[in-house]
Amino acid sequence: MYDLVLRNVIYRMDPEFAHRFAVVGFRYGGRLLRALGGRRSFPAPPASAAVHALGMEFAAPLGLAAGMDKNGEAVRGLAAAGFSHIEIGTVTARAQPGNDRPRSFREKDVRGLRNRMGFNNEGADAVARRLARLRSGRKGGDVILGVNIGKTKVTSPEDAPTDYGYSARLLAPYADYLVVNVSSPNTPGLRDLQSTDALRPILEHVRAAADDAVGDRHVPLLVKIAPDLADEDVDAVADLAVELGLDGIVATNTTIGHDRGPGGLSGPPLLPRALEVITRLRARVGPGMCLVGVGGITTVADARAMLAAGATLLQGYTAFVYEGPAWPARINAALGSR
């Protein structure tokens, strides 16, 4: 049924409007899920699918990548779709509108998405207030919630540590883990912050700000990197993560290695490089660090390949658009038999 909805309804919508429509739908719970897929489409993962990572027990490997729910509006509904964890964002210290439209595109021939959104979001203050309400609610406290934070566009590179720290201080009290995003291609100069000289003070500042905000509780800290990094730069980030005692690395963000127009491409074309990066990271950081594999996961075979490459957890977003709301539950249920 979802294929009919995709072809006859969703494809006729502007991509950004369809995205917003979906967020609103999931915001108001599981009604949309039942209408599109039916209860049988959303099996709970078996106990054998569980993963212990970041000091927590995840019901299954696959969670939702950042980018879908930028402002933390639909956490409960998205969790009901069968994701083991929800990563919201990217959230910046100040609210910002993002880049000019059009900025979201479907690449249907490869079942991919291309975007140049530019971190459009309501800002850390507004998102913190929303997450406070979520965490105090009857069903919001048990969702494993990651918060992905990025640099405000108008902030200079020199002031980036303070900018990231502001968001971390506000959002850490409501996050099960934080992700420092220095890898989106859609904010000018952001990817330059992946150099170890620029990245070190950001990570140190975020760690200190999060610790100050939560007291005795440890909020795991991860960094998200681009697939377009050269291998030696992947190694350098891995070494820095080990040196600073980071809890993990998220690999990878969208790629600019394509000829389809401006913005980062996600979906199946990204999978080979994402597997290479995860494999390289695992060899570099050893067995203990949490690696979150993202990029092009569509099938159970894709998910198993990413786990075999060394990923601890998985995330997806683009396949959720093309495969439908039952997709995460199907993948997680199947992974329980791996």
- For the annotated binding site, the residues are 66-70, 90, 115-119, 148, 181, 186, 224, 252-254, 267, 296, 317-318
Residues 6+ apart with CB under 8 A from 265: 107, 112, 113, 114, 254, 255, 256, 257, 258
Q: Give the integer Cα–Cα distance in Å for 83 and 63.
A: 5
**DSSP assignment letter at 65:** P
Contact indicator for 116, 99 with CB cutoff of 8 Å: yes
Closest CA to 274 of 118, 48, 112: 112
Q: How far from chain centre, in Å, is Cα 296?
A: 13
The secondary element (H helix, E strand) that includes residue 177 is: strand 177-181
Closest CA to 302 of 266, 272, 328: 272
Show binding-site residues for substrate: 70, 115-119, 181, 186, 253-254
Contact indicator for 223, 199 with CB cutoff of 8 Å: yes
Q: Give the integer Cα–Cα distance in Å for 91 and 129.
A: 13
Contact indicator for 295, 283 with CB cutoff of 8 Å: no
Contact indicator for 71, 145 with CB cutoff of 8 Å: no
Tokens, residue 237: 């980030």
Catalytic (active-site) positions: 184
Tokens, residue 217: 């509780």
